[in-house]
A and B are shown apart, each in its own frame.
Chain A
């Protein structure tokens, strides 16, 4: 009786902890086998890199322009117009776009588009027993499949952050033009408020987002099981865990960056 109640209460928690632990182990294995020679993953790396770019460029473009125009663009412009200070929108976009929404929209799109594709691909190989076949042939799946995806997703997420940033600011420009204001003051306040710390913080953050997404999605793909529903279920869980992981990490990172670099908060 006590035993069964305890099982009901603690088994989900235990499974969750086990899964997180397994992902940490996979991260460690991935990093060590990425650094240790030989390096057979060059071709796969390039093809995954191009694959992610091909899938993501259009959804990311639409998403960032929409987000930049709607959330920080229209709402902040409305607020600033009340004070007759629409030129400050440029300065606000440094905070909104570089520090916050360009990174997380990039992460959402990469997890939702490239991450799900990776999970579906690896999950398909798992249930066709191709991964087992690889191991029998003496090919290490971590080195040949996970490492190139891990590196490609890290690089592509970091680069896409710049892309998202450009189109996010384009959303801000649209909001300025909607209010019939000139663009000169927008750019002036944007560039006086922008700082290098903000930019490297943003790029570093998204690169680590890419790492989280790659590990979660590869792990879920490689452990897919359970017949017909297995791969779909794996994609479902992968994207949920990736979103939660990315946002939790985002909170900690932003918090630390803001608290340790007070100079980026000074308005100019």
Chain B
């Protein structure tokens, strides 16, 4: 059964990851994590200072992209005043969550792997255990709670950055539609539930990225080289998961109901 070894390895590690993530989620859910609330706040601070600017930057570039494509596409079908439809759906529903997920995986996910991995190989995690501190609780659960405290606000601000970039691209750069005409259509094609759905999508991606990062970092082995390999491996799983969550979110939230202000 030579060909079964690879799928079997995947299944084994999927089970291990699920077990580990279940443990972390349980610790946050049972409020045990508040024993280390100071550490949680410290992690929140690190997240704000080191990651937000990069995330907003990537979302901004993607927003420009949505705006450009929308402007040229609506011009090509002879309705340049309707560029707002494309920009609204492209930004809010699809590409802001994806861009957020990509940058979370790249900046925060791999950052956690590198940090926890180096703690593991320099035996700091074992030292924590010796001191009687639950290392999963102290290292992983605090990071998860910190990301839940901070990231909803980061995400909402990122949506703002994306909208601003699309406005710049459609109205200021290509300039087929007036500012008022653009915003009329743009705001008509979205409403608060869409924003909440988009936020849910982004938060699920962020949660998965943090959990995957914790797993690979906590279980790193094999010296400094092993940390590098674990960081690279976590990225593979993160990218696949971000795309799958994006697809499932679209299917669940907008698959049966387009939520458009037109048509029957």
Contacts and interface: CB of A to CB of B under 8 A. Distances in A.
A265 B75 contact: yes
A79 interface: yes
B150 interface: no
A154 interface: no
Contacts of A112: 105-106, 235-236, 238-239
A70 B253 CA distance: 11
Interface of B: 54, 57-58, 61-62, 64-65, 68-69, 72-73, 75-77, 85, 89, 93-95, 98, 102-103, 105-107, 110-111, 113-115, 117-118, 121-122, 223-225, 227-232, 235-236, 238-240, 243-244, 246-251, 254-255, 258, 260, 262-263
B243 A63 contact: yes
Most B CB contacts (10 A, CB to CB) among A62, A117, A224, A247 go to: A247
A79 B261 CA distance: 11
23 contacts: A59-B240, A63-B243, A66-B247, A70-B249, A71-B95, A71-B246, A74-B250, A74-B255, A75-B94, A78-B258, A79-B260, A95-B73, A109-B239, A123-B225, A124-B225, A127-B225, A128-B225, A228-B121, A228-B223, A232-B115, A236-B114, A254-B68, A258-B72
A251 interface: yes
Given A123-B225, A228-B118, A232-B110, 8 more contacts: A63-B239, A66-B247, A71-B246, A79-B258, A112-B105, A113-B239, A127-B224, A229-B115
Contacts, number: 183
Contact of B239 (A108, A117, A250): A108
Nearest to A234: B228
A100 interface: yes
Contact of B258 (A82, A105, A236, A267): A82
B110 A243 contact: no
A248 interface: yes
Contacts of B105: 112
A157 interface: no
A232 B231 contact: yes
Contact of A239 (B57, B94, B235, B250): B235
Contacts of B68: 251, 254-255, 258
A251 B69 contact: no
Q: Which 5 A-B pairs have the closest CB atoms?
A: A232-B114, A231-B228, A78-B258, A120-B228, A82-B263
Contacts of B113: 232, 236
A96 to B, nearest CB: 8
A244 interface: yes
